[in-house]
Structure 1
Amino acid sequence: MKFRRKPRENVEINLASLLDVVFILLLFFVVSTTFNREAQLKIELPEAESAEVQEAPPRQLEITIAADGSYALNGQGLVKSDMATLSSALQKESEGDSSLPLVISADARTPHQAVITAMDAAGKLGFTHLRISTVDAEPAKP
């Protein structure tokens, strides 16, 4: 007795709809992902409690910011207190060498915007070694 076999049906998985779902998920993740940007300036804040005195390198730049927000670069006052003037003075004083260390010394009553403007000008010129100088904290009186 000879049995006749049923012809086998070819089983196929339709991948078109699966690919559509994968691409939509990929698009969703790309759009909803937040990208972090690395900080452009490396800031080394000295400890205010220990007030360790560091020896100054042979050549460095120092931006001094007064309480009213006026700038001085290496002891020379700037005519205007804006980013363009500060950037051009930094460029001229550093002679294009952005590897020089830069110290920002600001009065305690200096507006925060003046310090941010100085840091922004330094960052746009490519300075990466930035220090903010502080003084030793006074112990609390009982």
Structure 2
Amino acid sequence: MKFRRKQVEDVHINLTPLIDCILFILVFLLLSTTFQQQSRLNLSLPDAQGVPPKEFDHKIEVMVDSTGHYAVNGQALSTKEVSDLSAAVKQAANDRRDLMFVIAADAKASHQDVIRVMDVAGQLGFVNINISTKVPTRGY
């Protein structure tokens, strides 16, 4: 007896609709995604223009020179230590924390030295902290 063999049809998978769907999803994602780099900051720093200076009866002025040495109200400190700076500011303040605290730093002073002065002022409880600047000349 001769049986007839079933013919097996080749299975074909049509990939065209799958590729079309993937391309539509890709285009949708590209159009809806923003490619901004969050790590870069473009800063435009403001100039210190003519704000009239206020005169205070008593103030504490800490000067930072380009080498990182400090002076409190014109009296130079012998070391760059934070403890010496803190002691000199405490002595100049006489337990008054409402005095104006002015930081006058040289343009070439390191950022760390200025931050150290601000940190001492914050630890001692000063709330009126100013940074001295000069008004730029108009000669372009």
Which segment drifts farther, 115-124 or 50-59? Answer: 50-59
* Structure 1: distance between partners of 2:67 and 2:132: 18
Tell me how far apart the structure 1 counterparts of residues 81 and 87 of structure 2 sit (CA, whole Å): 10
Alignment of 1:35-114 (within 5 A): 48=48, 50-114=49-113
Larger radius of gyration: 2
| Residue type of the alignment partner of 2:71 | A
Tell me how far apart the structure 1 counterparts of residues 62 and 121 of structure 2 sit (CA, whole Å): 10
TM-score by length of 1: 0.63
Which amino acid is the alignment partner of residue 72 of structure 1?
A
Specify the code of the residue in structure 1 equivalent to 2:70.
Y
Higher-RCO chain (CA-CA 8 Å, sequence separation at least 6): 1
Map of 2:118 onto structure 1: 119
| 1:53-97 Cα deviation digits (max 9, x unpaired) | 313210001001101010000000011112111101111110111
Count of aligned positions: 95
Could you list the runs of 5+ residues in structure 2 that have no partner in the other structure?
1-45
With structure 2 as the length reference, what TM-score do the two structures score?
A: 0.63
Once superposed, what is the RMSD of the aligned Cα atoms?
Answer: 1.7
Structure 1 unaligned regions, length at least 5: 1-45
Determine the structure 2 residue equivalent to 1:129.
128
Identity %: 35
Which residue of the partner structure matches residue 39 of structure 2? none
Deviation at 1:140, TM superposition (A): 6.4
- Measured after TM superposition, the shift of residue 138 of structure 1 is 3.0
Q: After TM superposition, give the deviation of residue 103 of structure 1 in Å.
A: 0.4
**How far apart, CA to CA, are the structure 2 residues paired with 1:84 and 1:103?**
19
Aligned counterpart, 2:36: none
In 2: Cα distance, 1:138 partner to 1:121 partner: 32
Which residue in 1 is equivalent to 2:28? none
Deviations 1:86-134 (A, max 9, x none): 1011111101111111000000000000000000000000001000010
